[in-house]
Amino acid sequence: MAGDKMVILVTGAIAGGKTTLLERAHQATRKRWQACGFVSPGDGRTFRSDRPATSYRIALLDGSMELPWAARRRDDEGYDFDEASRIKVEHAVRSTLDEGNEDICFLDEIGRQEIEGRGFSDLFRVVLASQCRIIVAAVKKNFVEEVMTSFNIDEPIVIDLDTVTPKQGLRQLLGRISGLDAERIGVFAGIAGLVEVGLGSTLHAYKVPFKGHLLAYLQNVLLIAFGKALRGRGLVRIAFISAMLKAFSPIGEKLRPMLYIFFQGAIFAFPIRLIGWNAIAVLLGSISMAWFTLALSLAVDYVTFGRSIFDAFSGVLGTVGGWLGVGKLSLTSVIVGLFVLKALLAAGVAVMAFYGDIQPLIRRLGRKPGSRVGLHPVGPAESGRRTTLGAAWYAFRDLVSPRFLLFFLVSVLLMLFFTNLSRADFLSVVLRGLCISYLGFLVIRRVDVHVVGHWLDRRMGLGLGKSLPIALKVLSRPPESKTSKTDPDPDGTPSEPRKPDPDVSEKA
């Protein structure tokens, strides 16, 4: 493997399952990876029979073409190949590669003909030189070294079906394919974390109202942009890592925004996991993400004050409706209206981001000087917040902070003037709100976000190993440093040395 290109050679004995492995790998990856290529299934033999097939067919992976390919000679010495079939298949694969959108190319198989310069040798060289990032080729075991030499393949990944089971081989192959995205996922997660830490801290410092909803829409735009580059892959991992990076925010609480970032990203990615990367999945994910933000806000109000806060909202709506001369407004209809409004806004954002070109913005965020955040280890003060006494003290400070008291006072006044609560019930609701709020602050101060992050990683298998260090590098790279040859671009690939004001590649 060199740079961002990976060559995987699948080898093994005759009838060892090489073609079947390529077919299964294509089935497992076709929803989220663009793939081209062909397979050559054999006829007249069984698995592990060690007997050559009587004939071979050749079929494009997209199912558009299946042709006769090779027939065993009567003297049982080799095969006669159908040159017309080869020309048609090679033309189809080359035409697909010329579009430049393919991630994987499957070739079955590369053998003696190709080593001698015949068969699909020219196509194999074209694939190796193309923008296709992953080449998976079936190769007979006794030809592996010659194929590497003839086609100048350095350090390929070899999966030997004589030493692993087909199931293990498929798992290795899919793991290698998924692993190639780790760098780009790390870069994208770093950009998302940079926005959350930088912009989120600024909005928090200036007490901007509805900042959570604003950041949610921005996260939606970024996830769509990242999804376009990755065709929907790795979005949950990006959300997870960017949530982890929120722990480095210099201002404000951390645990609750981290949970919001992660769950919003996971909810957005869910329809894409089900039906693949397309406009409908993006639209469903965006609307679900917007609804989650609104539902969570309503749920927090209900847990804090109970039904009384909604009775207060109903009273406010009745009063406003009287002022406007439209009669009493129903709370249910207003909540439904809010969900409809959120859905329309989310749909607009999704359409704009999905069909618009926002990659220049992503590249600018990935390289913008002066926007990096200094990462510092957790000091004694931060560690003290996680002791029981320290957490209790800091939770009390959160409870008496002007920002919280303003929100709490507004809610109390609404219930005082717009509900029919008795004095005892009113005091009970106020005390309930204070106690639940304090317990919430206590949990936030007591929980170690790093421990939570690693626990989620172990449980969900999101894989931090390679992506997280790259994300941290994006987040903390000093603005005055020049990007080295191995620094990843915002598209996740190693870059060449460049000047302070570089020409930006369009590859992202």
The predicted-structure confidence for 368-427, as pLDDT tens digits, reads as follows 433 444 444 444 444 445 577 888 888 888 888 887 788 788 888 888 888 888 888 889
Q: Are 133 and 180 in contact (CB under 8 A)?
A: yes
Say how far apart CA 475 and CA 55 lie, in whole Å.
Answer: 56
Co-location of 347 and 488 in the same domain: yes
Q: Considering the domain boundaries, does residue 456 fall inside one?
A: no
Q: Are residues 16 and 128 in the same domain?
A: yes
Q: Are residues 373 and 240 in the same domain?
A: yes
pLDDT of 488 higher than 60: no
> By the 8 A CB rule, do 470 and 361 touch?
no
Query: Has residue 455 been placed in a domain?
Result: no
Question: 485: which 2 tokens?
Answer: 């040859």
505 DSSP 8-state letter: P
- Same domain assignment for residues 353 and 482: yes
Choice between 474 and 339, residue whose per-residue pLDDT is larger = 339
> Per DSSP, what are the bridge partners of residue 138?
10, 108
Stated pTM of the model = 0.68
Three-state SS sequence of 232-255: CCCHHHHHHHHHHHHHHCCCCCCH
Number of compact structural domains in the chain: 3
Helices (H), 4-133: 18-29, 83-98, 112-115, 121-129
For the segment 179-193, the average pLDDT, to the nearest whole number, is: 83
Specify whether the CB–CB gap between 31 and 179 falls below 8 A.
no
> Euclidean distance between the first and final Cα of the chain, in Å?
20
194 and 249 part of one domain = yes
User: What would the pLDDT profile of 68-113 be if each residue is shown by its tens digit?
Assistant: 998 888 776 778 889 999 999 999 999 999 887 788 999 998 988 9
451 occurs within a structural domain: no
340 within a domain of the structure (yes/no): yes
pLDDT of residue 383: 46
Which pLDDT score is estimated for 287? 96
322 and 391 part of one domain: no
* pLDDT value for 452: 61
Within-domain flag for 454: no
Q: Tell whether 357 and 254 lie within a shared domain.
A: yes
Calculate the average pLDDT of the chain: 79
Instruction: Flag the least confident range among 72-76, 442-446, 495-499.
Output: 495-499
Q: Which of 179, 205, 237 is the last residue of a domain?
A: 179
In this structure, the answer to whether residues 217 and 322 fall within a common structural domain is yes
* 373/471 Cα distance (integer angstroms): 12
Note whether residue 481 is domain-resident. yes
CB 40 within 8 A of CB 170: no
* Secondary structure of 271-321 in HEC code, one letter for each residue: HHHHHCCCHHHHHHHHHHHHHHHHHHHHHHHHHHHCCHHHHHHHHHHHHHH
Boundary-marking domain end, from 145, 179, 213: 179
pLDDT at position 2? 44
Domain co-membership, 400 together with 297: no
Which residue has better confidence, 251 or 505? Answer: 251
Residue 211: predicted pLDDT: 74
The string of DSSP codes covering 315-346 is HHHHHHHHHHTS-PPPHHHHHHHHHHHHHHHH
> Do residue 23 and residue 170 come from a single domain?
yes
Is 507 a domain residue? no
CA angle 220–101–346, rounded 5-degree value = 15
The pLDDT score that the predictor gives to residue 508 is 31
- Whether 82 is covered by a domain: the verdict is yes
pLDDT surpasses 80 at 204: no
Residues pairing with 139 in the sheet: 110
Last residue of some domain: 179, 208, 225? 179
Same domain, 392 and 407: yes
DSSP state letter for 141:
G
Give the whole-angstrom CA distance, residue 28 versus residue 12. Answer: 21
Contact 313, 297 (CB under 8 A): no
Model pLDDT for residues 246-280, shown as the tens digit of each residue = 777 665 566 678 888 889 999 999 999 888 889 99
Q: What's 483's DSSP letter?
A: P
Residue 68 bridge partners (DSSP): 57
- Over 70: is that where the pLDDT of 281 sits? yes
The pLDDT confidence band at residue 476, using thresholds 50, 70 and 90, is low
* Whether residues 442 and 468 fall in one domain: no
Which residue type does 293 have? T
Q: What angle do CA 162, 29, 453 make, to 5 degrees?
A: 100
CA torsion sign, 488 to 491 to 492 to 494? negative
Task: Tell me which range, 32-46, 244-258, 319-333, is most confidently predicted by mean pLDDT.
Answer: 32-46
Give the pLDDT confidence score for residue 224 in this predicted structure.
93
- 444 CB burial (10 A radius; 0-12, 13-18, 19+): buried
pLDDT of 114 above 50: yes
Domain that holds residue 306: 181-378+462-502
